């Protein structure tokens, strides 16, 4: 349903944005709400930054800056760009997905994750992420929990966008298991899974291969 001037009467937002509101400034929160007015039930949105900005009174660069924050918090991810029916622009239309399940949402039907995320990671880039992952391993927390951040960072690096497996699902999977998680082991397996299935692996799908 919409108003006489074409504005939607309602939108669907992830409820967890309520817990993240302290990490979003006013501009980012307004941009997120405006983006969600273009979102369908699968989270798919292909409105441009200009269209989103026009709906809420923000400049294009403010919306683009907000996109970066949304991806950092796991509220949104990029999808493969596509040609729209009857589009005038010579450039493919950017497509995004609002994430309701903290990054573990299924990719909308007919959509794909960006091909750029599957490009080969050069040695310097991989070493940088690997060092960052290893720095997360500390000795003052429960041994079967200390590798969760390594797992998240490795899968995020393979995808090219943030992935955050929850502590609860990690603890559930790790019951009665005791093995170390290494970035250079998880990264290639996660990348191969994403290339094959075009979606983010569930925690048992990536851990079961280690």
- DSSP state string for 36-66: HTT--TT-EE---HHHHHHHHT--HHHHHHH
CA neighbor of 74 nearest in space, from 136, 131, 156: 156
pTM: 0.61
Q: On the CB side of 137, how many CA atoms lie within 13 Å of its CA?
A: 13
Q: State the fold for domain 15-98.
A: Arc Repressor Mutant, subunit A (1.10.10)
- pLDDT by 10s per residue, the chain, length 210: 667 776 777 788 899 898 888 899 999 999 999 999 999 888 999 888 999 999 999 999 999 999 999 988 889 988 887 766 665 666 677 889 999 887 678 888 887 777 544 444 455 555 665 666 566 555 444 545 678 888 888 888 887 777 888 888 888 888 777 777 888 888 888 888 887 887 888 888 888 766
Tokens of 140: 């003052």
The residue behind tokens 């292909």 is 46
pLDDT tens, residue by residue, 69-82: 998 888 998 888 77
Largest CA distance in the chain: 61
Which ranges in the chain are annotated with CATH 1.10.10.10? 15-98
Sign, CA torsion 19/23/24/26: positive
């Amino acid at each position: 349903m919409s108003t006489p001037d074409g504005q939607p009467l309602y939108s669907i937002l992830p409820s967890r944005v309520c817990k993240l509101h302290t990490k979003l400034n006013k501009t980012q929160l307004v941009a997120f709400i405006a983006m969600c007015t273009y979102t369908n039930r699968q989270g798919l949105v292909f409105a441009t930054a200009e269209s989103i900005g026009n709906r809420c009174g923000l400049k294009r660069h403010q919306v683009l800056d907000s996109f970066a924050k949304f991806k950092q918090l796991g509220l949104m991810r990029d999808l493969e760009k596509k040609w729209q029916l009857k589009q005038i622009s010579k450039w493919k239309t950017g497509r995004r997905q609002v994430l309701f399940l903290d990054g573990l949402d299924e990719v909308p039907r007919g959509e794909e994750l960006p091909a750029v995320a599957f490009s080969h990671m050069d040695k310097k880039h991989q070493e940088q992420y690997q060092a960052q992952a290893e720095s997360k391993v500390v000795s003052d927390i429960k041994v079967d929990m200390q590798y969760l951040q390594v797992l998240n960072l490795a899968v995020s690096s393979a995808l090219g966008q943030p992935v955050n497996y929850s502590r609860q699902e990690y603890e559930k999977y790790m019951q009665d298991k005791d093995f170390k998680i290494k970035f250079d082991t998880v990264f290639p397996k996660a990348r191969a899974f994403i290339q094959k299935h075009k979606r983010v692996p569930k925690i048992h799908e990536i851990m079961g291969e280690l």
